C-alpha cells in the first residue's frame, strides 16, 4: 500500500488530497469534487503537466516567442521537452497556434506558439 499527499491544482481552491494505492485500487480523500479524485489518481499513476516556455525566433519583432505543449506531457519527460525547446530556433513570422515543433522530444505532443512574432 502506498499513500501520497498532494494539493489539487485543477482549480484555485487547492484542496489537500490524500491518495492511497492498494494494487489497482485508488482511494482519494480531501477532494471537494470529482475532478480532484481524477487528479489524485492521475498524479499517483503518471503525473502529467503542460509545459510553457519560449523559443528563439529568427527575423521576428522580438528575439523569443512564448510556446506551450498542446497537451500535457508526462512529468518525467519535462526535462527532455525543455532541452528540445532550448535547441530550437523558429523563423518568423510565427502566429498563435502554429505548431513550432511536432511531436516534441518524442512525446507525441506538439509544441505550439502562444504569441505572434
Question: Could you give the angle at the alpha carbon of 72 between the alpha carbons of 54 and 36, nearest 5°?
Answer: 130
Q: How far is the CB of 42 from ligand SF4 (least distance, A)?
A: 12
Asked whether 39 and 45 are in contact (CB, 8 A), the reply is no
Asked whether 74 and 46 are in contact (CB, 8 A), the reply is yes
Q: Which of 6, 19, 31, 94 binds ligand SF4 (CB under 6 A)?
A: 31
Q: How far is the CB of 74 from ligand SF4 (least distance, A)?
A: 21
Q: Among residues 39 and 117, whose Cβ is nearest to ligand SF4?
A: 39
Q: Which of 4, 33, 96, 99 binds ligand SF4 (CB under 6 A)?
A: 33
Asked whether 10 and 43 are in contact (CB, 8 A), the reply is no
Cβ-proximal residues to 15 (8 Å cutoff; 6+ apart), any chain = 7, 8, 30, 31, 32, 36
Using CB under 6 A, which of the segments 28-36, 47-55, 87-95, 104-112 binds ligand SF4?
A: 28-36
Q: Among residues 36 and 101, whose Cβ is nearest to ligand SF4?
A: 36
Backbone angles phi, psi at 67, to 5 degrees: -140, 165
6 binds ligand SF4 (CB under 6 A): no
The binding site for ligand SF4 (CB under 6 A) comprises: 8, 10-11, 13-15, 31-33, 35-36
Amino acid at each position: 500500500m502506498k499513500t501520497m499527499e498532494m494539493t489539487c491544482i485543477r482549480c484555485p481552491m487547492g484542496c489537500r488530497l490524500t491518495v492511497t494505492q492498494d494494487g489497482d485500487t485508488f482511494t482519494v480523500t480531501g477532494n471537494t469534487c470529482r475532478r480532484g479524485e481524477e487528479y489524485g489518481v492521475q498524479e499517483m499513476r503518471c503525473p502529467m503537466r503542460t509545459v510553457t516556455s519560449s523559443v528563439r525566433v529568427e527575423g521576428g519583432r522580438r528575439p523569443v516567442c512564448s510556446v506551450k505543449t498542446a497537451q500535457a506531457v508526462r512529468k518525467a519527460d519535462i526535462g527532455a521537452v525543455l532541452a528540445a525547446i532550448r535547441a530550437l530556433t523558429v523563423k518568423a513570422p510565427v502566429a498563435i497556434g502554429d505548431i513550432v515543433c511536432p511531436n516534441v522530444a518524442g512525446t507525441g505532443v506538439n509544441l505550439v506558439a502562444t504569441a505572434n512574432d
